[in-house]
Amino acid sequence: MANLEEKRRIDKQNFRDHLATVNEEGKRNWIYPKKPSGRFYKARNVVAVLLLTFFFSGPFITINGNPLLLLNIIERKFVIFGVTFWPQDLHLLLFGIMTFILFIVLFTAVFGRVWCGWTCPQTIFMEMVFRRIEYWIEGDGVDQFRLNKKPWNFEKISKKVSKHAIFFGIAFLISNMFLAYIIGKDQLFEIITDPPSEHIAGLSSMIIFSGVFYGVFAFMREQVCHFVCPYGRMQSVMLDNNSINVMYDYVRGETRASIKDRYQLENRKATLEDLGFSASEQFGDCIDCYQCVKVCPMGIDIRNGTQLECVHCTACIDACDSVMDKIDKPRGLIRYSSENAIREEKQKVFTPRVAGYSGILLILLATFITLLTLRPDTETIILREPGTLYQELPDNRYANIYNVKILNKTFKEMPVEIRLESPEGDIVSLGTIDLIQPQNSAEGRFMVQIDQENLSGLQTELIFGIYSGDEKLETVTSGFLGPGNSTNN
């Protein structure tokens, strides 16, 4: 019988003091995870289908004529759930981003890295799309390992070429959809249908995005979570002993022993005293089968506790539950729990830290909603045309030319009129705006003519009223350049 004392000894082989994906020489260990199955995996499949459906249909869904989601950094136009945010709404975006970040911090403090395992795009595409294709073409983890060790023959070449061709095709499709969220579906269709020479920049972006996605899912894989993603690095400061994580119940599971070790003991009820341990130490439910390790896409041993690499994908839970069913033990040796719940059998979710995070989140959320509610229906900018001086007119009148840009933030067409409220003067249209489409902007030019007696020197402040019918939408100020020898100077 194997010596259990040797098995319990802590060394590099049985404890996590190194990265599972890096060997002693500093080279990468390629992970060949076993294909998962179980209730959590089925639930993740449902979530993945919903999220993938949303991702691939998002650019084609419109609300009041606007896309569901558009992050057009180039034109500085952002559409979130059909609501357009312009550069003038930067403060709203900042508050929205701050609120979202704090929500992630709060969610992580309570539920750990549920986001990573269930909804992160990296996990969804890697585990639910690319990994499944790999299982379909090359087989389970053991089959993939054997295939990679084989010499290059027709079977290996055909499988590798087929897999990587499909990988690049999917990466190309993902890059197209990703680009649609940046430039919009209409411009994407133009890039696809027009001659390549007319859209060199767009096609170059598409090829670059495709190469990046292909490299991430075909080669980098779990290394993205280990070394690139900042969220994994941040989790160590967001978690505490009350955070709910995928955890191994060491109280119930220890001391580990294989089926062979425990069933060779007489009557299967002997204590570890027979093997040199105190009588109080009994065998735990963990049979040291390593199924939780074999199925892990990160290559870690969850029995070593919460680890930076763990993305809470629940594959180890399904694998362990399956083993527990086979040996007539209750499920949940690996489960969603917290350190305090396992060690002290006390689960406390609403801690002072969670209360503090929640209070700040409510303040930010209330501020964001208030600012969003008070956001004006229009945003008007009136500036004197650059590079021009005043124009001297008959009867001691002077004129300046202005450019105007009006944003319509509502979901309806808006007729607008610009009126000069102070000082007294006239507005002459040079292409003034009359009607603005919903969630859009319009630009125009006009001339302001003022009598010299109404001017106040070199600079005179003009006050414009922006009206829609009889309703005054906002007040805008600008400057009027006049002669320095005004009678009122």
Spatial separation of the C-alpha atoms in residues 202 and 187, rounded to whole Å: 9
Report the range out of 182-196, 224-238, 294-308 with the highest average pLDDT.
Answer: 294-308
Spatial separation of the C-alpha atoms in residues 361 and 105, rounded to whole Å: 10
The predicted model gives 426-433 an average pLDDT of: 84
**Token pair 């941040």 in the structure block, residue:** 234
The predicted model gives 427-443 an average pLDDT of: 83
Q: Does the structure show a pLDDT above 80 at 473?
A: yes
Residue from 472, 462, 369, 363 nearest 416 by CA: 472
Residues 134-169: tens digit of each pLDDT: 999 999 999 999 999 999 999 999 999 999 999 999
Is the whole model's pTM more than 0.85, yes or no? no
Q: Does the structure show a pLDDT above 90 at 193?
A: no
**Token pair 């350190």 in the structure block, residue:** 339
Both structure tokens of 474? 């906002």
Residues 233-284: tens digit of each pLDDT: 777 777 878 888 899 998 888 888 777 766 655 444 455 555 555 444 467 8
Contacts of 5 (CB under 8 A, 6+ apart): 275, 276
**pLDDT band for position 486 (cuts 50, 70, 90):** very low
Report the range out of 15-24, 47-56, 351-360 with the highest average pLDDT.
Answer: 47-56
Residues 27-85: tens digit of each pLDDT: 888 899 999 999 999 999 999 999 999 999 888 888 777 788 888 777 777 887 777 77
- What pLDDT shows up at residue 446? 92
Q: Does the structure show a pLDDT above 90 at 227?
A: no
The predicted model gives 14-32 an average pLDDT of: 75
The predicted model gives 206-232 an average pLDDT of: 89
Least confident of 82-91, 119-128, 221-230, 276-285: 276-285
Helix axes 154-183, 131-138, angle to 10 degrees: 160
